[in-house]
Amino acid sequence: MAPRFTSPPKVDQDPAKALDANIVGTANVVKLAQRYRLKVLYISTDYVFRGDRGNYSEADAVDPVNKYAWSKLGGECAVAHA
């Protein structure tokens, strides 16, 4: 699995690396967890929200603000699909 990729400016420079780490890598972990009946704890980012207020909850609508946020949202989707 690719190492985590958590720097928004670096993601803008190399979005493919963020796709590999935050989406494909997470999906691979989810598939292995399913195979062995394990749970996955996924840590995302507040960047998936617009950022015009605070205290967001999981029930709030997402509106990713940059490519990093989109890649993290993709990882969230992989975990939610499990």
What are 28-76's pLDDT values in tens digits? 999 999 999 999 999 989 999 999 998 999 899 999 999 999 999 999 9
Contact 82, 26 (CB under 8 A): no
Q: Name the more confident of 82 and 66.
A: 66
| pTM listed for this prediction | 0.85
Q: Note the helical H segments in 1-82.
A: 8-13, 15-18, 25-35, 67-80
Domain ranges of the chain: 15-80
